[in-house]
Amino acid sequence: MSKDKPLTEVNLVRWIKLVATICLLIPATPSKSESGTDELSAAQGLPAVTQANRVLMAREAYAKWQAQSGKSIILDVRTPEEFLFVGHAEMAWNVPVAAQSYIWDSATGQFPMRPLPDFVSRVEQIAKHSDTLLVMCRSGGRSALAVELLTRAGFSNVYNISDGMEGDLVTDTNSVFRGQRMVNGWKNSGLPWTYDVGPKRMVLPPNPGQ
**What distance in Å separates the CA atoms of residue 83 and residue 187, rounded to the nearest whole number?**
13
Cβ-contact 186, 161 below 8 angstroms? yes
Q: Where are the beta strands (DSSP E) in 55-176?
A: 55-56, 73-76, 88-89, 93-94, 98-100, 113-115, 132-136, 157-161, 168-169
Question: Per residue in 137-151, pLDDT tens?
Answer: 998 889 999 999 999
Nearest partner of 47 among 77, 4, 110, judged by Cα:
4
- Which residues contact residue 207 at a Cβ distance below 8 angstroms, ignoring those fewer than 6 apart? none
Residue 70 Rama label (left phi>0; alpha psi -120 to 50; beta)? left
> Domains of the chain: which residue ranges?
9-28+37-201
Q: For residue 187, give the 3-state DSSP assignment.
A: helix
Higher pLDDT, 73 or 37: 73
Report the pLDDT averaged over residues 115-136: 96
Cβ contact 90:192 at 8 Å = yes
Mean pLDDT of 117-128: 97
Give the tens place of pLDDT for each residue, 1-27: 444 445 455 555 555 555 444 444 333
Statement: residue 37 has pLDDT above 90 = no
Residue 178 has pLDDT above 60, yes or no: no
**Alpha carbon distance 14, 2 (integer Å):** 13
Flag the least confident range among 25-29, 85-89, 160-164: 25-29
User: What is the predicted pLDDT for the residue at 118?
Assistant: 96
Give the pLDDT of residue 16.
Answer: 52
Q: Let me know if domain 9-28+37-201 sits in CATH 3.90.180.10.
A: no
Q: Are 114 and 16 in contact (CB under 8 A)?
A: yes
Of the candidates 188, 185, 119, the residue with the CA atom closest to the CA atom of residue 147: 119
pLDDT of residue 167: 73
Q: Which of these, 81, 82, 74, 78, lies nearest to 96 by C-alpha position?
A: 78
**How confident is the model at residue 157, as a pLDDT?**
95
Task: Answer yes or no: is pLDDT of 76 > 80.
Answer: yes
| d(C-alpha 17, C-alpha 113), whole Å | 7
pLDDT(164) > 60: yes
Q: Are 43 and 26 in contact (CB under 8 A)?
A: no
